[in-house]
A and B are shown apart, each in its own frame.
Chain A
Amino acid sequence: MPSPSRTSMLETMMLIRAHEEKLATIAGQAPGTCTAVGQEAAAVGAVMALQPRDRILTNHRSAGHLLARGADPGRLMAEVMGRATGYCKGKSGSLHVSARELGVVLTSTIVGGELSLATGVALAQKMGGAGTEPGGITTVFFGDGAACEGIFHEALNLAVTWQLPVLYICENNQWQAFVRRDETMPHEHVRPWAEGHGLPSLTVDGNDVETVHAATLAAAEQVRRTGKPYFLELNTYRARGHFEPDDQSYVPPAELARWKARDPITLQRDRLLASGQLGHGEYAHIEQRVAALVEAAFSFAQTSPWPDLRELTTDVYA
């Protein structure tokens, strides 16, 4: 699989940012939206290091993972807005978007739910289940909040014991809903818990997309080669509130400013501009392209039909 270009990683991050900021401005039409603004490098660096045969599980902050995997922004926005053209026919809304055709499966908004389901997906991969592809691994995205759930420990323990091909990617974004991470855990990082369960593990700068990409490539390769789990912690920051709208009055301004100074998109943009790999003109073109894509997505979603009311009771039983 060819490595994505440094510029394409930047452009995908910009698309995710523009997509989520658009959703934040239409919160009334996009109920339940939980963004991962500020965490774009984690999503893009990690997802772009995976292969089509891999399966991805995400959570309520899924837009970055989905768009990095190639999701159509229009269908994604339509889903968030509850329209029939969405990936889940509008039944998911923002919080549990799955796109099986992209290998993004079983999205759960129950914090930690994705961790338990990932164990089963990896078991199916190991046993050749029809919903999997040979050589594929399971990658599951979750946060420091999920790591405080009991199921985190149950999942890691079983994946180690059964030797399942799971790449755990913890986006440690410093906030658990409305609670600071340092109020809920005794240490800075989740990694010591993973180490305690016997997983090989690594913590990297989650705001540097190239660092995340390189770390994920190496981690995924190790999971694929050994068939055993690996734990990758991406140190990052949730720059917006828990959900939209949220004035973040509970966030210390100095903390927010400190992290915004390390914005992942600015970091990558400045790096490419400084190295001469990206010109100011090209950057402006990317900005325009991304803005046009998001506007087209919104327009598609807004003009899409609502679900037929008969959908109220379809898809309940197979």
Chain B
Amino acid sequence: MQTISVSDAVSQALAEEMRRDPRVMMFGEGVATKRGDLLTEFGPQRVRNTPLAEGIIAGTAAGAAAMGLRPVIDLLFAPFLSLAMDGIMNSAGKLRFLSGGQFEFPMVVMTMTGAGWGVGAQHNHNLEAMFVHAPGLKVVMPSSTADFKGLLKSAIRDNNPVLFFMDLALAHTPGPVPEGEHVVPLGQAAVLKPGHDVTLVSYAKTVGSCLQAAEQLAAHGVDAEVIDLRTLKPLDEATILRSVRKTGRLVVVHEAAAPCGVGAEVAAIVSERAFGALKAPIKRVTGPDAPAASSWVLEQAGVPQAETVVKAALGLMAETDTLVV
């Protein structure tokens, strides 16, 4: 086991996959500047800087992917994806279907988001659910250093367009990563802590809040199960349902706003397919439905903290007691 930063884990994944498959290439805003090691090893044809023009970066990736390359593009900050929607959503996401299966789009869109750098709402917007809503795309958002590496490798090997959201607060977090080949399949959630009383479902940085919450809940005699979704599409429904059928209580936690978010989807799936197992209403703990502020205090106040998760979980326990009485 090696202990490396998320940033290094991402670099390892990129280098290993480019070494393994000559079709893999990378371009984007500052890619060749910031990833000098890749440029040196793989050369300027496969590692390219681009103009700051997200539309053409995404469209070029889609066109190249359909014709046999496997591009990884870096669009820096998630709000910039709003300028790349045609290439990602209309082309890569739809032209496989619209052409009757004539094309496939093996490409990865990397982007950063989330509170942590105080950069404000035009650099920080957790809009991953927008892509979950778009057919033909897969969406990944890791929380652990090892998953950043393993999921990115799977994303690069996948024959579909994959959105790879990187929570920027985790970028420099050191963590254990297995030595050698480490691949984590898409579409599999991880049960990080088993428990019997309440299920805490999350992804990205708020997985950390849930793990802390689980420790605090233990002090209250509540045994929480913590699930890291890892992939938001395809969603690992089986793992979520299995857990809720066991615990009967569900709190979904994410930094993104609540309306039509991943939490809404998880809650809907559970109420449709495990309603009978629920001992209390489903609770969401999310960021506010407001643009992210720059001011450190305001920015951090928008991130669900362990204390809020604990409160929500204890509320569900109390509500159940009331129901039982």
Contacts and interface: CB of A to CB of B under 8 A. Distances in A.
Q: Do A and B come from one complex?
A: yes
Interface of A: 55, 86-92, 96, 98, 100, 105-108, 110, 112-113, 115-125, 127, 129-132, 150-151, 154-155, 157-158, 161-162, 314-318
Contacts of A115: 59
A92 B91 contact: no
Contact of B160 (A89, A119, A317): A317
A109 to B, nearest CB: 9
B100 A117 contact: no
Closest 4 CB pairs of A and B: A116-B59, A120-B63, A129-B68, A130-B68
Contacts of B48: 162
Nearest to A164: B60
Contacts of B55: 116, 150-151, 154
Contact of B66 (A90, A105, A116): A105
A155 B59 contact: yes
Interface in B71-100: 71, 86-87, 90-91, 95-100
B129 to A, nearest CB: 18
B51 A110 contact: no
Nearest to A121: B63
Contact of A154 (B53, B64, B90): B53
Contacts of B59: 113, 115-117, 119-120, 151, 155
B64 A129 contact: yes
Interface stretch (B7-15, B101-109, B286-294): B101-109
Contacts, number: 161
A88 B100 contact: yes
Interface in B95-154: 95-106, 135-136, 138
Given A127-B45, A129-B69, A98 B87 contact: no
A318 B68 contact: no
A125 B103 contact: no
B25 interface: yes
Contact of B96 (A90, A158, A318): A318
B95 A119 contact: no
Q: Which of B23, B45, B62, B97 has the most CB of A within 10 A?
A: B97
Contacts of A92: 98-100
B100 A89 contact: yes
Size range of the interface on B? 35 or more
B50 interface: yes
Nearest to A307: B100
Contacts of B256: none
Contact of A121 (B25, B66, B98, B135): B66
Given A316-B135, A318-B104, A123 B64 contact: yes
Nearest to B138: A317
Contact of A120 (B45, B67, B96): B67
B107 to A, nearest CB: 9
A113 to B, nearest CB: 6
Given A92-B100, A124-B63, A315-B100, A106 B68 contact: no
A96 B86 contact: no
Given A132-B68, A155-B56, A316 B100 contact: no
B58 interface: yes
Contacts of A124: 63-64, 66-69
A86 to B, nearest CB: 8
A131 to B, nearest CB: 4
Contacts of A155: 56, 59
Given A120-B63, A316-B136, A161 B100 contact: no
B217 interface: no
A134 B106 CA distance: 22
Contacts of B56: 116, 119, 151, 154-155, 157-158
Contacts of B99: 88, 91-92, 96, 98, 100, 106-107, 315
Contacts of A107: 99
Contacts of A157: 51, 53, 56
B6 interface: no
Interface in B36-56: 45-46, 48, 50-51, 53, 55-56
A88 B68 contact: no
B204 interface: no
B39 to A, nearest CB: 15
Contacts of B106: 318
A120 B60 contact: yes
